[in-house]
Each structure stands twice: as structure tokens, then as C-alpha cells.
Amino acid sequence: MDEPKLDRRRLEVLRAIVEDYVATQEPVGSRALVERHNLNVSPATIRNDMALLEEEGYIHQPHTSAGRVPTDKGYRLFVDRLTNVKPLTGAERRAIHNFLDEAIDLDDVVSRTVRLLAQLTRQVAVVQYPSLSRSAVRHVELVSLSTSRIMLVLITDTGRVEQRVVEVSAIDEASLGELRARLNAQIGGRRLAEVPALLADFARLMPAGELLDDPARAPQPVAVDALCASLLEMIVEQREERVVLAGTANLARFGQDFPDSIQPVLEALEEQVVLLKLLGEATAPSLLTVRIGRENGFDQLTSTSVVTSGYGRGEDTLAQLGVLGPTRMDYPGTMGAVSAVARYVGRILEQA
């Protein structure tokens, strides 16, 4: 798999090119390279290496007699083999702690996280709300609003509360209380992912009275069905997950990095669907994913890269968060920030 033609020095040259280009935003030439990094060879040697790297598609020359610029393939190699995530400074680490520790509820955690990430990386930050399906039921509440309307409230252990109103045939308070108790016994504390199966059982057994001490108090099947159906809908519907955004202003700072304009990028960022796709499938917590240029699959985003990480409680990934910026970005730094924030948010969620 390794390209045998790339010996140690050539890789070093590629790394130097990426680093310099990211720093200066200008094509980098052979002389500048030997000066800034202490490669103990002459510019001419570097030129030979560059010619080879270009042949292999890792770098590219905007026009004859210009310096070289990394290609997407070059960045990819850089990220995969030539760098490690850069650990944050103590000050940054402290800033994360201080800022996130003040969060008062889930909304606040998410909103603080996204702003923090944007500020830390000076780029666009994206945070997905903890997914319902990964979290567990803390409590289900049934509130009768009138004789035939029930409000269904679902509280999860990530602190999210969802409610909706259900129309049912008349049901009396006593039955409702019984139902509430049984329902909580059945699904309380269980993963949302397990709930559909459990509800199916519940809908089958409950009306038959099999779960009750006094079968005479079994509620009407139709009411139970309606409630279960609504509960299921809530869970499924919420899987269409919410995403929040911050730092779009940072895009403007990189105006020159985008071939035409930042308009298509801003447009893409307004589409929830696009954002969700960018964050991608849930990965293990603190496992970084980097998508470079075309890899992210949207034409409007060919000159952007995305760095994402799962976050969650312990081993469970509850959702994804990440950062979007120009392909020419500080990968080690960004990866460090994303990883650190993901880890810390996870820890906060554990306490809650």
C-alpha cells in the first residue's frame, strides 16, 4: 500500500509544504522550504522531490514557475501519516472547563459547546443534539388534559423533554394512573432503541389485563394502541436530529480560500440535511474523522474539509460534533480542539 517511491525525506517535504502553505496561504517554493525547515539539502534536491510528489499527485503547481500547493490527496496523506493531533494548551483546556461547567441544562451545554468550538478553532462549528435513540427513558408521564385528550411527556436521561398531545377515547383517572405505572415499569430506564420492541409487547399484553392485579381495570385496547403509537412516533421523529451551528462569520475571514464566493458554502450550511450528512454516521466517542475536499460529497463544499468526532457517555456515542473549514486548514490544531471538546462534553453528560 505504501508508495515505495516516497522515502522519508520526500514525506518530510510534503509535510513542510502543507505546513507552510497552511501558514502563509501562498504557494511554497523550494528555496523557502530549505530555509524555513532545516532540511540539510539544497533547493535543487528539493525540486527533484517536488517533481516526484507532483507526479504522484500529492502537490500541484498553479502555473509554471509558481510554488507548489498541496492537493486533496496530499492533505489526506498528511493527515493520515504525517501528523498527530496537537494537544491543547493549558489555557485552552482551562477555558473549555470553565465555559462548559457553567452550563445549566442540555440546551445550554449544546449551545455553549458549539460556540466554544467555533471560537477555539476560529472556524464553523457544528454540534448535533444527543440522539434520542441512544439515550434512555427516564420517565414517561401521562397527563389528562380533558376526558379524551392526554398529554404524553417523555423525559430522557440526557435531559431532553418531548411532549405531544394524543386524542383517545375516554379514559378515567384510575386507569390512566395504572397505565402510567405499568408503562414506566415496562420502558423506564431502557434504551430508546429497545423501546419499540417493548412497546409492542406492552400493547399486546396490557389491554388483556395480564399485567394487572385486577384485570377488570384494563383500559380499552384502542386507547393503549393510540398512546403507544404516539410514543413510537415521538421516538422515530426525533431521530431526525437537530443540529446547531456557530462561527459562520469565520468563513468570511477565509474569503480568498474559496474559489468563487462563500455563498454556496453558506447555502449548504443552512440545510439541516447537509449538516447531518457532514457529521456522518455515529462513530465511537473521541474517534476523529476527517473528510477532505471532495470526500465530503457535496459539490458546494469541494474546497472545505470537515473534522468530526463522536461524543457521548463512556462507550456510547450519543451524537457527533465537528468543525468545517477550508481544505487549507490547520488539521493538527483543529483535530486537537475537536477531540478535546468532544471528550469534555462527554464527561459533562456523564455527570447529568
Partner DNA sequence: GTTGGCACTCGTTCACCCGGAGTGCCAGAT
Partner DNA sequence: ATCTGGCACTCCGGGTGAACGAGTGCCAAC
One DSSP character per residue, 67-103 reads -BEE-HHHHHHIIIII--PPPPPHHHHHHHHHHHHT-
One DSSP character per residue, 173-190 reads HHHHHHHHHHHHHHHTT-
In one-letter notation, the amino acid at residue 347 is: R
Element (H, E) at 347: helix 331-351
Nearer to a second copy, 192 or 269 (CB): 269
Give the one residue of 151, 170, 222, 284 binding a second copy; rule: CB under 8 A.
151
Q: If binding is defined by CB under 8 A, does position 145 make contact with a second copy?
A: yes
Nearer to a second copy, 42 or 148 (CB): 148
Q: If binding is defined by CB under 8 A, does position 216 make contact with a second copy?
A: no
Stretch that binds a second copy, among 12-20, 257-265, 273-281, 291-299 (CB under 8 A): 257-265
Q: Which of 170, 175, 181, 162 is nearest to 145 (CA)?
A: 170
Rounded to whole angstroms, the Cα distance separating 94 from 137 reads: 33
Stretch that binds a second copy, among 42-50, 137-145, 218-226, 320-328 (CB under 8 A): 137-145
Q: Which residues contact 313 (CB under 8 A, 6 or more apart)?
A: 346, 349, 350
The distance of closest approach from Cβ of residue 46 to DNA in the complex, given in angstroms and rounded to an integer, is 7
Tell me how far apart the 2 most distant CA atoms of the chain are, in Å.
93
Cell reading at 40: 540539510
Q: Which of 334, 296, 288, 332 is nearest to 18 (CA)?
A: 332
Nearer to a second copy, 159 or 207 (CB): 159
The distance of closest approach from Cβ of residue 310 to DNA in the complex, given in angstroms and rounded to an integer, is 40
Restricting to residues 157-196, name those near a second copy by CB under 8 A: 161, 163
Site for DNA, rule CB under 7 A: 9, 27-32, 40-45, 47-48, 50-51, 54, 61, 63-68
Give the one residue of 253, 281, 294, 352 binding a second copy; rule: CB under 8 A.
253
Nearer to DNA, 9 or 73 (CB): 9
In DSSP terms, which residues pair with 319 in a beta bridge? 311
> 41: buried, middle or exposed (CB in 10 Å: 19+, 13-18, 0-12)?
middle
The distance of closest approach from Cβ of residue 30 to DNA in the complex, given in angstroms and rounded to an integer, is 3
Stretch that binds a second copy, among 59-67, 138-146, 316-324, 327-335 (CB under 8 A): 138-146
Query: Strands, DSSP E only, in 89-201?
Result: 124-128, 137-146, 149-156, 161-167
Q: If binding is defined by CB under 8 A, does position 154 make contact with a second copy?
A: no
The distance of closest approach from Cβ of residue 4 to a second copy in the complex, given in angstroms and rounded to an integer, is 45
Q: If binding is defined by CB under 8 A, does position 208 make contact with a second copy?
A: no
Query: Residue 31 binds what, of DNA, a second copy, none (CB under 5 to 8 Å, by partner type)?
Result: DNA
The distance of closest approach from Cβ of residue 168 to a second copy in the complex, given in angstroms and rounded to an integer, is 17
Nearer to DNA, 29 or 130 (CB): 29
Helix axes 331-351, 90-101, angle to 10 degrees: 40
The distance of closest approach from Cβ of residue 259 to DNA in the complex, given in angstroms and rounded to an integer, is 14
The distance of closest approach from Cβ of residue 6 to DNA in the complex, given in angstroms and rounded to an integer, is 12
Rounded to whole angstroms, the Cα distance separating 346 from 312 reads: 5
Chain contacts with a second copy (rule: CB under 8 A): 139, 141, 143, 145, 151, 153, 161, 163, 246-249, 251-253, 255, 261-264, 266-267, 269-270
